[in-house]
Structure formats: C-alpha cells, structure tokens
Structure 1
C-alpha cells in the first residue's frame, strides 16, 4: 500500500506528494479519489476549498433550501448583467464542501437522453457514445429498483424513488396525461418523454452525495489524503507539464506535488478560472488582463458556457397540503421532523422537483423532448428566501438544449476574486421561441381538469397573459438558472478547433493535466447534470488507470 508523503520544500513551503493531485472534492473529484485509490497501487491527494460535510442540513434532502444562500457551503457566484434578462445578475450557486454541488443540490437523478451522447460520438468523440457511457452510469448506480438493462445495482451512488408521493403531485401527473403527455415511471429508461415522479440520489430519506457514496469508504485507505480548507491558487508547471498545485490553507502557502498527473475537478466556473490564472487559456486575455506568464495558448478555455434557464409558474392552493403550510405551523414542523427522523419520510424528503416531465414543444429540431418540467409542493418569491405565508406550489420549465453560449473569464490572477460569468441566456432566437412555447405548454397542463380542484388562483404569470411577447417579457423579468453550467473547458475531436481537451480529457498543449468535471462536456445534457458528471468521472478514472498501467 502506497502512502501520501510530506516534506519541507526549498522555499519553506510545506510540500505533500502523491501520484495524483485532484483539485475539487465535488461530484467528480470524490469519484476519482475512490476509483484511483481502490487498487492500492496509487496515492492521491484530494484538495477541497470548503469544509467537511458535517452540517445536518446537508444530509436532509429538503436542506438544499437552507444551504442555497449559505456562503460556508456555497461559492455564491453570480453572473454579470444579462442583456436578454433585463440586465439582471443571475445567481450561480456551486457547492463549496466535500461532495461539492452533490451536497447542496436538489437531488434529482437524471442522465439526459441517449441521443445527447450519440451526438457527442457523432462529433468525433468516440469514447462518449451511448454504448460507452451506459456502462459507466450502471457502474456508478445502486438502483433501489434493482439492476436491469438500463440500471445498475451495488454501485456507490444510491438512486431511489421518492419517499413521499402526494395527491397534489399525482394530480399534476394526471394533468400531464390529460394534456397528451404519456406516463413515464423512469426518465432514465428506454425513453425520457412523459410525466412521472423523479428518482433521487438518496437512500431511506437521506441525501446520498458523492462524499457519502464514494469518498467516505475511500477515506479509510492510507493512500488517500483529503485536505479541506485548501484553496488552489495555481497549477504548477515544468515547461508545459503539470507538476502539482499550489494552495492556501489556514493562511499558509502549500504545494501538492503530483508524481503522475494533476486532475482538475473544480467545476464549470473554477476549472477554467484556475487554468487561466495558471497560464492556460486565451493568450490575449492572460497577457493583457491577468498579466500571467503563458503556458499554453488555448482560446477555448472559458468559452462555450452552457446552462439551463428556468421559468417558474406559481399557484395558490385551495388546500393546506404544501410545505408552506408545514413551515408555517410549529406543530406540523415538529411532526415533519419526527417523520423524517423516525421513518425517513415526509416533507423533509422532497427533492427540488418531486414530479415533472419531459415534453416536446415543436420548436427545436429533432424528435426528442426539448423542455423539462419540475413540480414542487411549495412556493417562494425566489429560491433561498422564505416560503410564502399562504398555501402555494410551483412548477417550472427549462429548455433542454440551448443554442446560446457564454463565457467564464478570470478577472484577476487572484483565485479569491470571482470570475466573470456571462451565460448569455436567450441570445439565440431559437431559445426564446422554445422557452415561450414551453411556458405556454406548462400553463396548459396546469389548467387541465385534474388540477382544477387544487388551484385557488394563478399568481405567476398572471392569468390574463396570453401573447408570446407578453410571455417573453415575463421570462426576461423572472427567469433564472436551474444550476447546470457546463462546457467551459470542452473536449473535442482532434480536428475540433473550439475545444480545450481531447476525448480522454487531457488538456491540449499540456502534459500530465486533465479536466474531469462538467466543464469538459461538449454540450449540456438534456436534464439535470449531476448524474452525467458522475458518469464522466467514472470514465475519466478509467482513462487515468488505463494509462497508468501502460
């Protein structure tokens, strides 16, 4: 068994050494730490800027509402003013804790569409067709329903059905059927289209982050060292080969040296930022704005940011059956806490979308769903703020495959300064037409007979709104991110000029350096991204181990 080594550096810095240095203990980093150390042949240092995942609200599914605006566990990023959203800055939360965003997200387990990954293969990424990624999805999964052709059992990631199904959610699903959408009990099965309940990364009512599923068992191994409170400040190079990472912990500068490779898993915002401040990125920006020495001129680093834009519709309910009513009653709050603690059921197990569906608007090309809907039995003015004092519930819609793309650029050589994030939502005409069509279709679902007994009034948007222009104005004034940023250090085929990585996730023009997180995706998948990030990390671990064995 190989242990992680430590010594004193020539410059007085504390130096720790291992075969691999992983930056970021999020959804991808925890997967890599587990897979690379499990044979005992290789040592790993895992650096995480945030703390350990000990806060109780991390482990309660509904706790995402508490952590959404907590800077102890959330980077609290924000976009630059968005031109197509009335100049508003859009919140861009990212996890800052062991497990990363898998510790603070809404728990939905959605892989995307088979066609998404076949599109990756058709773009020249032979390692990423559906035939390649399905085994990785199955390998990761511990499916509550047991294994089948689509799912795996016995993997580190617990995937479960909703613990609490409600008549209100049942009514939404029935309304979808009345509007012509088929029932679908598995969005990750043969087809994505239809309405039903979401599965979640949870087990017996507890969140199942990658910190819990992958990292917790790996931490018993002597060849893994996890360093929390370790904020990476630079990737270190010898020429164009990465040799380690400089990081700051408790006010002291330290170095983690990598005998084999540096694996960057800091996410769609921090990964391009760290590359840029380390000299890897668009040469003109690095020279004129950051003033850092150039290691590799890669204009694609920080480009092609994609994200899903969400529009919420809010209804006042006729009955006191929503989370608003539980939170507003001390007695019901205590009962809900006991129900969760004793049975692992009740309102505290709700994910950020209990029911929902995937449907086609007819706007986007292709024959697969182009919008996703979420249905949640609570309502609020804005995520992270208090719930409404009345009975209310929320449904939302987002476009699955936006044409719009943005940028992430370091604005300072200091990693403590947040990057400039510009998603450019709705900059493409197709995106504007698709999201308007999606909102109109969702409102048609909400007006079906199955939901009429549950709705006292339509609050947002107002019921008299009818024209496409009015809906677009509403979207510009209210829409926000659904928190699925990808593609800022995207991989591409050998002849793809607008790519920063090869298909095995190696940084072009650099040696011993890979990016293995959502930023590597060539396009955002059709759905929530956490499952796909975990799959990508499983594939990335395979690449790393295959090359180490040569």
Structure 2
C-alpha cells in the first residue's frame, strides 16, 4: 500500500546525465515530490573527479556496469568491453568530458522523422544554451567590438553545465592540426555552432581542472530541497502497471531492490525511465514491453509488443598508432617514476598537465570522400599510445590518430538474457555490418595516412605502427579495422522516438511510451539516429526538453 515514503509525483529511474537534470527541473516546484533512483553508489569515489581518473573508473565495478558485447562478426568475432556509468552522474562521471552537440542537420532530421518541430536545430539550440556556462562568455561580450557576439548567439552563460577550454597543449598535436590544414581541413575555434567541420582542440566539461559531471551540475544544487528524495544502490527490478476500466495500460511506478529489500514505489503523475541506451530497454523488456517473441521465450507476460532494444547505433573508433621522434609524448613523460611524480605535482599545484587531460585533446571533423555532403568522420587525436584501453602505455614515443564514422548505417540490438534483473543484457552492435560502413572504414584509414604524410608532420618522422603500411586493399583495411577498432562508448537509439504511425518507434515525439500512460523514456536511447559527435551533451538537451514537456503536461 503506497505511503508517504513510497508514493511520489514523479519517479526518475537512473541518476545519470539525463536523470540528474530531470530531478533538478521537476523538483524546482516545491509542490512536486520527486524520487531519483540510482543503482550505483554516490559519486564520492575520488577518481571520478580527477579528469585522468576515467582510467580507474572504466572497468571498475565501483563505477561501471562492467558490460561486454556479444562476439561481433564485423570485428572478426571479438568481444568488446562496453562501459556504462554506475554511480551518480552516470556516464558523465566516467566519460571523456568532451562537449559536443553534433550537427544542426542531426536535429532537423529528428524533427522530420518525428513530425515535432521542437526537435529541430533552432529549438534544440535554446535547450543547449539554457543550461550552458561557456568559458568564452565568462567576461560577457565586448560592447565596443562585439568580439564575443557570435559566441553569445551560440552559447549560454550562467547555466549549470560548465564548458571550459583544455588546460594543456602539445607540440605534436599543434603540428597535426597544421597537417590537417595542409590536407584541406580548415581550423575552427568552435565545434558547436551547428557545423562542426574543422580541426581544433575540444572544449571539455570541467571546472578549474576538475571533472564536471551531471551530479555536481544539476543534482547537488537540488539536494537540499525537501521535496527531492535520492536513493542510491537502488536497482529497479521492473516497472509496475495497472489497467483502467477501458483496458488502457498505465505505469504506476517500479519495484526496486534497495539494500537487499524489495520496495514498490508509486508515481502519481509520471515515471521517467532514464537508465541509458542499454539499461532502459533492459528494464522495459523485463517489465513486459518489448518484442513479444523475446519476452515469451523468457516467460515474461507481454503487456505491449514493441521493438524495444532494436535500432542500436554506436560510433566505432579505429585507432591508428604512429611512432614518432624528436618530441614529447605522454609515453615518454609518464614512462618513469620521476615523470609520474612531476605530473602529479603539476596537477596538485596548478590543476593542469596530463592529469587534467581528457582522453582526447585535439579533434577534427571532415568527409571520408569528396562525394559526402557533410563531415562524416570525427578524429580524436592523442599524444600517447597503448595496445588496448586499460593497458599500459607503449615504451616508445608515439601518438594515436583515432577516427570514427559519425553516421553508421549498421544497426544492432540489446536483449535481455533472462528474466532475472541482475543478469547483464546481450549487447550486439553489429559493427561494420553494411557495405557503406566498411567502405568508410577503409577510406578513413587511408585518410589518416594522408594526414600523417603532410609536411607539418615530417619533422617527427612518423612511422605507422598500427595497423601497418603493408595493408593497402579495401579488403585488408576493412579486416584490419575489425581487428583494431573499438567502441567510443556512444550507444543510442534502442528506445526510438518517432511519429505515431512509425511502427519502428517505441515512443511518440514527446517521448511517451506508445500505448502506455504515465511513462516516458528520457536518455540517449530515444535518438532515432545518432548525432554527428559525442553524445553526452545531446542527452542533457533531450532531458531539458522533456522536463519542459512533462511540467507543461501537468
């Protein structure tokens, strides 16, 4: 029986990027009682807050769900580690901190696919700006010169989501940017104006050299509110439902394992599922909303037959490694105890240096071939190299030029493994499943070689270490891409939103689950197509828009 401790107006499931923003916005009105549920622990683990700490958070059960993919045919049968944040702040507590919106065409396309104009770029830009606090506007625009006017048109000031420039530069990265210009890629000072084509240093979600996650940004200011309750180490078993006299299905809340005790919580107005592109479809399927054949095979009653878990999209990153000489790289600086001590001292004294680094510092967006209408490749360039993520640095000076296909046409899926909510789901991205994706992979590796052969790079005598210059044909390069590529941790699309008459869409344009009252999904899983860039900040934009719709509807 519901009581004051288990009945709320709104229940938000998932204390990640979207969930923290939703909790803030919904609890801003003291009349709303809001419960935020997070399966992980509070974000008190010290390595969350030190930028380089992602190395100690990914693959750590303290902060990561520790998922893996199924063996992937496109990756020559390899299994990939598939990190997902399991702590307050979610993936914003363990990700690469890159602030990236994507391209205006992404959102105009969402508006076309959904039939809802508020998804277009002009509307979505206002939602990005509403919570942004951009470093370029710290002093405001100069009224005499208007120097910052173009940035104020595109960016916000005073919001919760802090965006700063990086606190270090590298000679070899500056030279790579010059090489990109020599190859025909223009320099840019803003990847977030709607057209991210160009080369430059990424802006990052940090504040004064510390990681800035969604828990600090949105949840911390809201926690003192009496009407907001936050439960950590509270994992949802399944959603709960009831039918009215007409047979209409309504979500009433959720069953939650809280410290080993099963508790049922109820929502008077709405339940908002913000568990991410992997766990949101998992929870829906466990609750009886998903592909009927899958649910029946696990003995789960089918409440609604829907393509939940389909349409998985991700950015596959191909990592090319080059040995270099005559310059500093992290391999040489951090290769001994003295170097590590100096790195630690610089961070302690100045909050700068390698410990303040995002995983990637320099970025570039360009086309894989001249026939493309827009930039369809993103480069993440790093002054370091290693055999695989989580392993030690190579013992020779090197750099890594990683490139990903921004608009993959391959589609995968997420499916429950059993009816036990504690079991990890089956994640099958189906990378390089289409001819177009395989062609882009081969073309992108050739483009990396072109960039590294430009005059600006020659003083470093770059030598291709991986994949190796002996591989030249499309067939060789595609196979090599399968051998060396890895996820860049951007899964989206598994609970797709779209038009009412789109049978492949689980959600309506306002993110309500079709055929179910009182239930929305608000996270990266709602994207009908992946954005042309990193996905964390678009997820916050989605939550900003959804919060406004929820409040307007009640």
TM-score (norm 1): 0.95
Question: C-alpha distance in 2, partners of 1:207/1:36?
Answer: 25
| 1:283 and 2:292 are equivalent in the alignment | yes
Question: C-alpha distance in 2, partners of 1:127/1:327?
Answer: 48
Question: C-alpha distance in 1, partners of 2:359/2:3?
Answer: 43
Of 407, 410, 419 in structure 2, the residue corresponding to residue 404 of structure 1 is: 410
For 1:358, what is the secondary structure of its paired residue?
strand
For 1:303, what is the secondary structure of its paired residue?
coil
For 1:159, what is the secondary structure of its paired residue?
strand
Indicate the residue corresponding to 2:337 in structure 1: 330
Post-superposition CA distance 1:82-136 (Å, at most 9, x none): 1121111122111001000000001111111000111111222322111210100
Question: C-alpha distance in 2, partners of 1:62/1:452?
Answer: 30
Alpha-carbon shift at residue 364 of structure 1 (Å): 6.9
Indicate the residue corresponding to 1:12 in structure 2: none
Residue pairs, 1:125-204, within 5 angstroms: 125-146=116-137, 148-204=152-208
Question: C-alpha distance in 2, partners of 1:77/1:315?
Answer: 30
Question: C-alpha distance in 2, partners of 1:175/1:301?
Answer: 44
Mark the CA change 1:363 to 1:183 in structure 2 (over 3 Å): closer, same or farther. Answer: closer
Question: C-alpha distance in 2, partners of 1:336/1:6?
Answer: 53
Alpha-carbon shift at residue 442 of structure 1 (Å): 1.7
Question: C-alpha distance in 2, partners of 1:125/1:460?
Answer: 45
Q: Answer whether contact 1:316 1:456 (CA < 8 A) is retained.
A: yes
Residue pairs, 1:54-133, within 5 angstroms: 54-123=44-113, 124-133=115-124
For 1:148, what is the secondary structure of its paired residue?
helix
Q: Answer whether contact 1:363 1:430 (CA < 8 A) is retained.
A: no
Alpha-carbon shift at residue 456 of structure 1 (Å): 4.9
Q: Answer whether contact 1:127 1:503 (CA < 8 A) is retained.
A: no
Post-superposition CA distance 1:330-361 (Å, at most 9, x none): 22212212212221211111112100200011
For 1:145, what is the secondary structure of its paired residue?
helix
Post-superposition CA distance 1:287-338 (Å, at most 9, x none): 1x2211122121x211111111110011123146222223322222122122
For 1:536, what is the secondary structure of its paired residue?
helix
For 2:268, what is the secondary structure of its paired residue?
strand
Q: Answer whether contact 2:68 2:82 (CA < 8 A) is retained.
A: yes
State the Cα RMSD in Å.
1.4
Gaps of 5+ in 2: 138-150, 244-248
Post-superposition CA distance 1:197-253 (Å, at most 9, x none): 001111111111101111111111111111110111010111221111111122111
Question: C-alpha distance in 2, partners of 1:137/1:497?
Answer: 29
Question: C-alpha distance in 2, partners of 1:107/1:446?
Answer: 26
Q: Answer whether contact 2:76 2:479 (CA < 8 A) is retained.
A: no
Indicate the residue corresponding to 2:252 in structure 1: 243
Post-superposition CA distance 1:400-457 (Å, at most 9, x none): 0111101111111111111111111111111111121112112211121212222452
Q: Answer whether contact 1:363 1:434 (CA < 8 A) is retained.
A: no
Q: Answer whether contact 1:364 1:430 (CA < 8 A) is retained.
A: no
Of 228, 231, 238 in structure 1, the residue corresponding to residue 232 of structure 2 is: 228
Q: Answer whether contact 1:242 1:513 (CA < 8 A) is retained.
A: yes
Alpha-carbon shift at residue 376 of structure 1 (Å): 1.0
Indicate the residue corresponding to 2:300 in structure 1: 292
Indicate the residue corresponding to 2:278 in structure 1: 269
Indicate the residue corresponding to 1:524 in structure 2: 530
Question: C-alpha distance in 1, partners of 2:441/2:7?
Answer: 49
Alpha-carbon shift at residue 190 of structure 1 (Å): 4.8
Q: Answer whether contact 1:241 1:512 (CA < 8 A) is retained.
A: yes
Question: C-alpha distance in 2, partners of 1:524/1:231?
Answer: 27
Indicate the residue corresponding to 2:143 in structure 1: none
4+ residue segments displaced more than 4 Å:
none
For 1:305, what is the secondary structure of its paired residue?
coil
Alpha-carbon shift at residue 469 of structure 1 (Å): 1.7
Question: C-alpha distance in 2, partners of 1:478/1:130?
Answer: 35
Alpha-carbon shift at residue 463 of structure 1 (Å): 2.3
Q: Answer whether contact 1:316 1:457 (CA < 8 A) is retained.
A: yes
Gaps of 5+ in 1: 8-14
Post-superposition CA distance 1:490-522 (Å, at most 9, x none): 000122111000011000111100000000011
Which is worse superposed, 467-476 or 224-233? 467-476
| 1:40 and 2:46 are equivalent in the alignment | no
For 1:528, what is the secondary structure of its paired residue?
coil
Q: Answer whether contact 1:399 1:434 (CA < 8 A) is retained.
A: yes
